[in-house]
Structure 1
Amino acid sequence: MTLPLDERRPDPRSLPLFASRARRADAGEEHVGRPARPRSASGLHAVPAGEPSGTPTPRRATGSEVDWELVAAFRSQASELLTKQLGGDRLHLDKAAQEALGRSIIVELLEAAAADAVTAGRPSWTPVQQDELAQAIFNALFRMGRLQPLIEDDRIENISIVGFDGVWLDLADGSRVPGPPVADSDQELTDFLTFLASRSEISARPFSEAQPKLHLQLDDGSRLAATAWVSPRPLVLIRRHRLTEVSLQDLVDRQALSPLTASFLTAAVRARLSVVVAGAQGFGKTTMARALCGAFDPKESIATLESEFELGLHEMPDRHKIVYAWQSRPGSGERGPDGRQSGEFTLNEALHDSFRFTAGRTIVGEVRGPEAWLMVKAMESGSGSISTTHSVNARGAMRKLVTCAMEFGPQVTHELATRKLAETINLIVQLDMEVEELPDGTERRHRWVSEIVAISPGEKDLGYATTTVFDAHEGRVAVAHTLPDELRRLERHGFDLAGFLTEARSSGVIA
C-alpha cells in the first residue's frame, strides 16, 4: 500500500476539537434544511411518513456530527506515521496487519489530542464521539471515507457524483434517489480521490492535473471512474456489482430474458461460440458476461484481460477453478527512450503473456477502443471468448468494433478489421433498458435482452452477414426469430430447438 507523505493538511492538534456543525448540534440547532430524524436499527435514519421509503440518508454521530476537516487532518498524520512504521516491512505485513497497526496509530493520536485538550482546559470528546471519530479516520485511511456508508449499503447499486454535493444513488430495486454530500467542498473530494488512487495495493494510479482521469477497482470489487480539472466540477461514478456469481437462470428469474433464450445462450457457450455483449452504459453488460461465464465447465482454465478488474472471475473459486487474471497498469513519470512510462503494463503485453498459460478461453473484458484488435487475437487463439462493448443495437456494435480495431494501428485496415471480426465473432447479445417514473418522483429501471444477432463472413461490400436469431417483441424480452442452419447443432449442447421453432411460428416468423 503506497501512502503519500506530502499532503498539506493542518496539524490536528491546532484545530478545535468540535466543528461548527457539532457545536450547533450541541446547542440544539437542527441540521440545515431538514429536521433531525430518529435512527432505525439498521443505522439509517427512520423515514418520516410521506417520504420515499427507499431514500438512503447519511449516518450521523450520536449527539454531534463528525468534523470531516479534523478527520482529513488526522488521516494525513496517521498516513505519515503508518508509512514510517511500516518502513521496509511493508511487504511482510498483510492487509489485516497493516489495518491493525493503523487502528493503534489512530487511537494513540486521538488519546494524545484528548489529553492535550484537557491540559489546555478545552472540552474533550465523549467516548462515543471518540469512537465515531476513530472509525471515520480509519475509513478515510483504509476505506472510502465519507462514501463508506454508501458503499456498505446493500440497497445501493451505483453512486453518481457531480461535485461534492451532487450525489445520486441507483438502488437495487431500480429506483434513483438523491444522496448525501460526500465532502465539504469539491477540493476536498478531489484531494480524497488523489489519496485513494495513490494507496491502491493492487495497482496505484496517478490522478493529478497532468493525468485528470482515474479508473480504479475498489476493495469490494466496485469500479470507480473519476475526472477532475477538465470538468467544471469533479465527476465520479462508482458501479457496484451486486450480482457477481450470477447465472442465466438468475436473469430469467429477473425477467431479463426468456427460458428459451437462456437455453440458446447456454448451448452457445458450451459449443464454444464467441459472444459480444452490447448495450449502453448501465444496461447490465458485465452482469450478462458473468452469467455467460457461469456456463463454463468449472475446471476449464480461463484468462481474463481487463483495464480494471471488473468481471471478478478470479474471485469465484467455487465456480471457476483456474483463472489467470491480468489488469493493465498506467505508467508514471517521464517516458523512456521507447516512449513508455515507468511501470506501464498494457493489455497487449497481458495477451502475449497469457499465451504461455494455455488457457482454454481468453476473455478481453470491456472493448472501448484499440483493445478490439486484442479481442480478435484472443478469439483467434482459442474459441469461446466473451467480451462487452457499448452500442445502441447489435448491428451498430459491429460497425463500432471495426472502428475500434482500426485504432490499434495503421496496419489494421477497414477491410482487415471487418474480415477478422466476421471470422471470430459468432453472436452479439444486445441489452436494452427502460426507465419508469414512479408516482413518488423516483425512477425504476428494467433491463432485458432485446435481440441476439448471429455474425458470419459475408459479401465483399459489407464484409459480414447478420441474422436476427432473437428479436425484440413489443419492446421487451426478445423472442425466437430466425435460426441459421449452422446453429441447429446447438441442440446437441442442450438448446431447445423444438421450442425455438414453435415460438418462431407463433410469432409469425415461420409459416
Structure 2
Amino acid sequence: MEELKANVHVELLKQLGPHLYDADMDQNELDQRVRAVLGDVLSAQDRPLSSSDRARVTQEISDDILGYGPIEPFLRDPDVSEVMVNRHDKIFLEKSGRLVVANAHFTDEAHLRRTIDKIVSRIGRRVDESSPMVDARLPDGSRVNAVIPPLAVDGSALTIRKFATDPLTADDLVKFGSLTPRTKDFLDACVRGRLNVIVSGSTGAGKTTTLNVLSSFIPEDERIVTIEDAAELQLKQEHVVRLESRPSNIEGKGAVDIRDLVKNSLRMRPDRIIVGEVRDASALDMLQAMNTGHDGSICTLHSNGPRDTLARMETMVLMAGMDLPVRAIREQVASAVDLIVHQTRFKDGSRRITHITEVERMEGDVITLQDVFVFDNSAGFDAEGHALGRLRSTGLRPKFLEKMAYANVTVDPMLFATDMM
C-alpha cells in the first residue's frame, strides 16, 4: 500500500506540480482538481483496489498534498485540542484533557520535515540548521511549535495547539465550572472599571482563553491594541489593531520583539493594551504603560500562583538591564497591577480559575495581596478523578472598588458574601 501511495503521489505531482503552488488558485478549485487527477491516476494503476482501499488512499494523499499529511484528520476532529508529534512514527493527541496515542504516523523523517516546512513557509517563517526552532500558526490561528535536529535528538518534533473556531464565552466558562456566575459578574465589572489585570497560570492552563473572555467585556467604544507572538486573540469589538512580533531573517536582522511593539503601541492612542504573553524585558514597558494612564490593560504570564506572578514580573523587569533597586520595581508593580486572575490545570484535564486576587499596596518591602475569590478544594475528587471544588468568596471587599467607581462602575456588595452559593 505504501509503495502504491508513493507511485500515485509522484504521478500526481508530475501532472499538477505548477498548480499546487499557484497563489491565485482558489483552495476549493485546487481541492477538486487534486481529487479528479487522483481518480484518474488510481484508475490507471495495474493493481486492483477495493472501494474502501481506494477511498483511504485518496484521502491520505489529498491530506498530504492539500493538508498536513497524517495529522490532518486530527486537526479536523473537534474533540482533539492538541497534536504532538515526538518523531515521525510517534504521534500523541490531547482529547478531553488527557493524552492518548494516535493511530497514525509519518512515512519517515523527510515526510515530517516536508509537513513542517509547508506549515512555516505559508506565514513567511523558516526552519533549518541555522534556526532549528520556530513558532508559527496555521491559517485558522492554531499555534505551532517545531524543533528539528540537531536540537531534537530523536527526530523533528511538532506541537500544534488547536484554535477553537468558535471561541469560548464567559457563559461557557461558567458551564465548564472554570468560573461561577458571581465571579463572571465580578470580572466583567473589573474590566469595565478599567483595572489592570494579569492572567497567570502554567502552560496549557487556559490563559489565552481567559484573556479572550476578559477582553470580550471591554466596551465597544474603546480603541484596543493587541500584541502577540502568534496572533491568537479573537476580539469581537470593532476598533481593534492587531500587532504580531517577527523573528529575524536569514542574516539575523529585522527582528521585532514584543518589547518594541509595546513601546510602539503607546504612540497609537490606545485605550487598552492587551499583550498575549509577557515573558521577557517587555514586562518593564508593560508596567510603564499601565502606570502612564493606560488603565484597563490586560496581559498573561506564566507562574505557579498569585505571589509567584509578582516575583516573575520582578525578575522580567530586571531582564531589561536597568539597574533598578528591587523596592522601586515593587512600587511600580504595586501601583500598576490591580488584579491577578490565576488559572490551574487539574489532573483530570479541567482548567479552573483558582485565585482572583487583589494587589493592594507596599507594606515595608513586600507587596500585600488579598484573595477576593479562592478555589475551595475541600470537597476533593470524585471516583473518576474530577475535581469537585469551586470558587468561593473570602468575604473581603477589594480596595479597588473606589478606582472602579471613578469609571462609573459599581459592584453589588452581595457578590462578596461568603454564604452565597
Q: Do the aligned residues in 2 keep the contact of 1:81 with 1:105 (CA within 8 Å)? A: no
Which of 345, 356, 368 is equivalent to 1:452? 356
Q: Do the aligned residues in 1 keep the contact of 2:262 with 2:286 (CA within 8 Å)? A: no
Q: Which residue of 2 aligns with 1:367?
A: 278
Q: Which residue of 2 aligns with 1:100?
A: 29
Answering whether residue 409 of structure 2 is matched by residue 484 of structure 1, we say no
Q: Which residue of 2 aligns with 1:81?
A: 18
Which of 234, 238, 241 is equivalent to 1:312? 234
Distance, in Å, in 2 between the alignment partners of 1:478 and 1:212 is 43
| Structure 1 alignment gaps of length 5 or more | 1-17, 23-66, 314-318, 336-340, 437-444
Q: Which residue of 2 aligns with 1:441?
A: none
Q: Which residue of 1 aligns with 2:92?
A: 168
Q: Do the aligned residues in 1 keep the contact of 2:84 with 2:93 (CA within 8 Å)? A: yes
Which of 127, 130, 145 is equivalent to 1:207? 127
Answering whether residue 70 of structure 2 is matched by residue 152 of structure 1, we say no
Q: Which residue of 1 aligns with 2:120?
A: 197
Q: Do the aligned residues in 1 keep the contact of 2:301 with 2:309 (CA within 8 Å)? A: yes
- Structure 1 position 242, deviation (Å): 2.8
RMSD of aligned alpha carbons = 3.2
SS class of match (2:184):
helix
Once the two structures are superposed, residues 413-440 of structure 1 have per-residue CA deviations (whole angstroms, 9 ceiling, x without a partner) of: 644443322222111111122223xxxx
Amino acid at match of 1:281: T
- Structure 1 position 496, deviation (Å): 2.8
196 and 141 in structure 1: CA distance in 2 versus 1, 3 angstrom threshold: farther
Amino acid at match of 1:461: D
Once the two structures are superposed, residues 300-345 of structure 1 have per-residue CA deviations (whole angstroms, 9 ceiling, x without a partner) of: 32111000011132xxxxx31121101111122124xxxxx14x33
Amino acid at match of 1:465: T
Amino acid at match of 2:309: A
Q: Which residue of 1 aligns with 2:244?
A: 327
Once the two structures are superposed, residues 36-79 of structure 1 have per-residue CA deviations (whole angstroms, 9 ceiling, x without a partner) of: xxxxxxxxxxxxxxxxxxxxxxxxxxxxxxx3x45765686688
Answering whether residue 413 of structure 2 is matched by residue 493 of structure 1, we say no
Distance, in Å, in 1 between the alignment partners of 2:354 and 2:49 is 58
Q: Which residue of 1 aligns with 2:382?
A: none
Distance, in Å, in 2 between the alignment partners of 1:370 and 1:107 is 53
Percent identity, aligned pairs only, is: 24
Amino acid at match of 1:157: S
- Structure 1 position 249, deviation (Å): 2.6
Q: Which residue of 2 aligns with 1:232?
A: 153
Q: Which residue of 2 aligns with 1:19?
A: 2
182 and 373 in structure 1: CA distance in 2 versus 1, 3 angstrom threshold: farther
Distance, in Å, in 2 between the alignment partners of 1:76 and 1:374 is 50
1:108-507 matches, within 5 Å, as: 111=40, 122-123=46-47, 133=57, 136-172=60-96, 174-198=97-121, 200=122, 203-229=123-149, 230-233=151-154, 234-242=156-164, 244-313=166-235, 319-335=236-252, 341-342=253-254, 344-380=255-291, 382-410=294-322, 414-436=326-348, 445-459=349-363, 461-462=365-366, 464-474=367-377, 476-481=389-394, 482-487=396-401, 490=404, 493-500=409-416, 502-503=417-418
- Structure 1 position 83, deviation (Å): 7.3
Aligned residues: 405
Distance, in Å, in 2 between the alignment partners of 1:76 and 1:407 is 50
Amino acid at match of 1:345: V
Distance, in Å, in 1 between the alignment partners of 2:325 and 2:402 is 34
477 and 72 in structure 1: CA distance in 2 versus 1, 3 angstrom threshold: farther
Amino acid at match of 2:230: E
- Structure 1 position 114, deviation (Å): 6.0
Distance, in Å, in 1 between the alignment partners of 2:303 and 2:399 is 27
- Structure 1 position 280, deviation (Å): 1.0
Distance, in Å, in 2 between the alignment partners of 1:79 and 1:416 is 64
- Structure 1 position 449, deviation (Å): 1.3
Q: Do the aligned residues in 1 keep the contact of 2:278 with 2:299 (CA within 8 Å)? A: yes
Distance, in Å, in 1 between the alignment partners of 2:15 and 2:218 is 46
Q: Which residue of 2 aligns with 1:10?
A: none
Distance, in Å, in 2 between the alignment partners of 1:208 and 1:103 is 33
Q: Which residue of 2 aligns with 1:52?
A: none
Amino acid at match of 1:180: N
SS class of match (1:332):
coil
Once the two structures are superposed, residues 345-373 of structure 1 have per-residue CA deviations (whole angstroms, 9 ceiling, x without a partner) of: 33233334433432221111112223323
SS class of match (1:351):
helix
Amino acid at match of 2:168: V
Amino acid at match of 2:290: M
With normalisation by structure 2, the TM-score equals 0.84
Larger Rg: 1
SS class of match (1:334):
coil
Q: Do the aligned residues in 1 keep the contact of 2:137 with 2:144 (CA within 8 Å)? A: yes
- Structure 1 position 296, deviation (Å): 1.2
Amino acid at match of 2:298: I
460 and 287 in structure 1: CA distance in 2 versus 1, 3 angstrom threshold: same
SS class of match (2:171):
helix
| Structure 2 alignment gaps of length 5 or more | 379-388
- The answer to which of 277-286 and 369-378 deviates more is 369-378
